[in-house]
A and B are shown apart, each in its own frame.
Chain A
């Protein structure tokens, strides 16, 4: 299946998981999972601890390979991607974790700058964009502080700033509020909504059903490695109703428009 074929209505599918199964140890951590995420969409991935949320996200940022099935992120296809191409994918998506995963020996500025440097951005450009990036997460005044001196909520904001610094088409968040108290949790959620409204699709995993129910966003329920309910049920159609009517975003087009292997990197697994 080629990416440019996966368009439904006017919406571009920027991330898709198709009949994915993964065994970890003896039993299936994921079993025949299919999900599609459209450009600019916001979805919660909800399920109890051990349901397979983290495993699914890991498949999506290609930290692991499915036993069967396929993951398609933009123009990157799990069954064809070469190990050496995975860093390219990582630069085009954002990832956020429960435990923040910041470099403790670097300031807020340096942590965010690292993601940009790795993507090939020069220091001049990094400096000129940093004010905007850090202001969006409300931490510009703390740019020279180290993660150790920040609160949990602040650290997660830094992690989010790092994740969106390269203007990704999609942000994957694995229990981003898992370590935070209810008030800070709300703030982080609001930040994720704001990021989403600026054009980045967000898939946020959480075990907290109560937290996410009230927002009216798409919720994908996962249990024992299976999808037990998906508000949109993409494979039965009607994607168009579910997504706000924002126009197809430029960055999503950039993320999906390369045809497979067209970039000369031969995204084919050797």
Chain B
């Protein structure tokens, strides 16, 4: 069988599977939907926590403190040289006045003591923001070493201890996240493949009969693949919808909470469609082998 009749046959068989196996499909979609919900909850929590961590890391900057009374030309030279370095996102000039003001703001009420200062003890500085993936002690140290020897540079600091702590935190978080994610993913795959297997087991006799009347493996499998893909799409949409509802509820109390971007949702649904049909494919193939 080939061509138009073949396609008609496959579509017809798929349609009838969806039509006559409503209960079985519903059960599959519910089980898969909830398994996937666990997975997306996990992914979303990971995403949010990692965004918080990244934001914190981004605030870690390298400060290049200038000698007192450097000329504008020297300042500009330093800025140019800094911008020429790798791994840097942006370079900001922080004048000593600005620094004092910030310092005062940080002190709050007790800032009055600053008014008693006759001279501003703080130096002019450049604040260097690293590219997000380069906010590590290795890269920051490199910049510190380089800039240290330049004319007009008094000192370079970057809160070494904090950066190293942050790095450890990020590493630990991703390790735990990866391990947990793997466990969740494996359980989801286990649950889904069992669901698929059970649903196909109920069709065992049909599959055998199909073989006896001369259906090729491809034609027996194709409707199952389509069914699996549709189950994947529906159950991933169910999971996403539930998660979105939960998110908009929790979001009232946690304003910073982010949801997946549209592309992320689409990608997840496509992936689930693929996984659904793969699951069906593997389960049916086991059966077709004698």
- List A residues at the B interface (Cβ < 8 Å): 61, 63-64, 84, 87-92, 95, 101-103, 105, 114-115, 117-123, 162
Contacts and interface: CB of A to CB of B under 8 A. Distances in A.
Interface of B: 1-2, 4-6, 8-9, 12, 16, 20, 205-206, 208-217, 219, 290
Contact of A122 (B5, B205, B219): B5
Q: Closest 4 CB pairs between A and B?
A: A90-B214, A91-B214, A120-B1, A115-B213
A117 B214 CA distance: 10
A87 B5 contact: no
Nearest to A125: B5
Contacts of B5: 117, 120-122
A101 B210 CA distance: 10
A88 B212 CA distance: 11
Nearest to A120: B1
17 contacts: A84-B217, A87-B217, A88-B214, A89-B214, A90-B211, A90-B213, A90-B214, A95-B212, A101-B209, A103-B206, A114-B210, A117-B1, A118-B9, A118-B215, A120-B1, A120-B5, A122-B4
A152 B206 CA distance: 19
A201 B75 CA distance: 102
A120 B2 contact: yes
Nearest to B9: A117
A122 B6 CA distance: 9
Contacts of B2: 120
Contact of A61 (B4, B16, B212, B219): B212
A118 B16 CA distance: 16
Contacts of A88: 214
A105 B13 CA distance: 12
A63 B214 CA distance: 11
A198 to B, nearest CB: 20
A87 B215 contact: yes
Nearest to A88: B214
B216 A87 contact: yes
Contacts of A121: 5
B280 to A, nearest CB: 18
Given A118-B214, A118-B215, 19 more contacts: A61-B212, A84-B216, A87-B214, A87-B215, A91-B213, A92-B214, A101-B208, A103-B206, A105-B206, A114-B210, A114-B213, A118-B9, A118-B213, A119-B214, A120-B2, A120-B5, A120-B6, A123-B8, A162-B213
Nearest to A64: B290
Nearest to A163: B213
A158 to B, nearest CB: 12
A89 B219 CA distance: 16
A268 to B, nearest CB: 18
B117 to A, nearest CB: 89
Nearest to A165: B213
Nearest to A117: B9
Contacts of A102: 209
Contacts of B6: 120
Contacts of B290: 63-64
A68 to B, nearest CB: 19
A61 B209 CA distance: 13
Nearest to A114: B213
A122 B8 CA distance: 9
B212 A118 contact: no
A231 B174 CA distance: 80
Contacts of B219: 118
A92 B213 CA distance: 9
Nearest to B17: A105
B209 A103 contact: yes
Contacts of A123: 8
Nearest to A96: B212
A89 B16 CA distance: 27
Given A105-B20, A117-B5, A118-B219, A87 B209 contact: no
A9 to B, nearest CB: 31
B187 to A, nearest CB: 33
Nearest to B209: A101
A126 B74 CA distance: 91
Nearest to B208: A101
